[in-house]
Amino acid sequence: RWLNLTELTNAITEDAYVLSQQQHQIQLSPPPAYLILGNESELRSALGNLVSNAVRYTPPGGTISLSWQETQDQLAFHVADTGLGIEAQHLPRLTERFYRVDRARSHATGGTGLGLAIVKHALTHHQARLDVESELGKGSTFKAVFPLARFRPVN
Ligand code: ATP
Ligand code: MG
């Protein structure tokens, strides 16, 4: 199905506000006027999962920025946070089932370690990939990178 990117992004942003409970500053850059070919519930849960991680792993007062970034042949949904960050050694394993970065953190924040495994699965269904940039103590940016071929302009 062709889904309106603005509607999809607004729904995800609403979820972010609810999850954050006013603990974070949430910034949304207006999405480009595109439709995306995909499964609505899968995309919403995959992108929503990135947002819920950003909320969970960013202490109160932090900022979470949501944006779509277009390059020549890709369009990516970026979820940038000013949270705990992740050491480089962990990055390759984040999408493994049940992988969590440290046990102390895991205890404090709950969760099972399945979220990103499911995200990766859903993105793969859409020929998309997950990129992560992170710095311990500074924050993280998770990028769901889609081929531009999955999009068309509205109208
Ligand atoms: P859940 O199954 O509830 O999503 P989870 O959040 O622990 O549990 P994942 O979403 O798969 O599992 O994330 C795996 C691990 O990656 C997390 O435990 C956390 O350590 C780390 N992580 C994920 N997103 C972020 C983020 N935005 N900032 C810092 N660490 C993160
Ligand atoms: Mg998670």
User: Is the confidence metric ipTM above 0.95 for this complex?
Assistant: yes
* Ligand 1 contact via 101 beta carbon (within 6 Å): yes
Could you read off the pLDDT of 41-70 as tens digits, one per residue? 999 999 999 999 999 999 999 999 999 999
* Ligand 1 contact via 86 beta carbon (within 6 Å): yes
C-alpha span between 123 and 140 (Å, rounded): 19
- Check if the beta carbon of residue 74 is closer than 8 Å to that of residue 145: yes
- What's the pTM? 0.96
User: Which whole number is the average pLDDT over 127-144?
Assistant: 98
Residue 71 class from Cβ within 10 Å (0-12 exposed, 13-18 middle, 19+ buried)?
A: exposed
C-alpha span between 90 and 88 (Å, rounded): 5
Residue 155's pLDDT band, with cuts at 50, 70 and 90, is confident
Q: Of 84, 47, 78, 77, which is closest to residue 62 (Cα–Cα)? A: 84
Q: Looking at ligand 1, which atom is closest to the CA of residue 102? A: 20
Q: Looking at ligand 1, which atom is closest to the CA of residue 81? A: 27
Q: Which two tokens stand for residue 88?
A: 């480089």
Cα(9) to ligand 1 centroid in Å equals 21
